Amino acid sequence: NPEDLIIGADTIIYHKKRIMGKPKNYDDALEFLNSLSGKTHYVYTALQIINENNKINKSIFDKTVVTFNTLNFKDINYYINNYKPFDKAGSYGIQEWSSIFVKKIDGCYYNVVGFPLAKFYLFFKDIQKWQKTK
């Protein structure tokens, strides 16, 4: 429907010059989490916003810096087997049990969850201003 506002979002992890998307299986998840253990990584979420009638076609993104505690195999294994993070970039969902993996965060928490809410809100306010001036 050309009147609708369409919003798409996706998240990736960037660590050691490597992009980590969603793990394919247990082994991928284990490898991702072991790699992030005790280290700092970057979480990027991109949003695409489209509205045909108002000629809106805009991309925005946000970056959050996340540092993990040193993880042990028992905790990683428990998390993968019980929370099945195969639909999560980097193999973790900060809003789940794996929040205990996080030592510190610099930036938007909701960006790590997968939707940079504050940045989207500011963009949405700009759209509303723009539409009122038409």
Query: Among 121, 125, 115, 80, which residue's Cα sits nearest to residue 101?
Result: 80
DSSP state string for 72-134: -HHHHHHHHHHH--TTSGGG--TTSGGGGGEEEEES-HHHHHT--HHHHHHHHHHHHHHHHT-
Could you confirm whether 4 is annotated as catalytic?
Answer: no
Taking CA atoms, 101 is separated from 34, 70, 76, 91, 92, in Å, by 11, 8, 9, 12, 9
Burial class from Cβ neighbours inside 10 Å (0-12, 13-18, 19+) for residue 133 reads: exposed
The active-site residue, picked from 10, 27, 62, 126, is: 10
Q: Which residues are catalytic?
A: 10
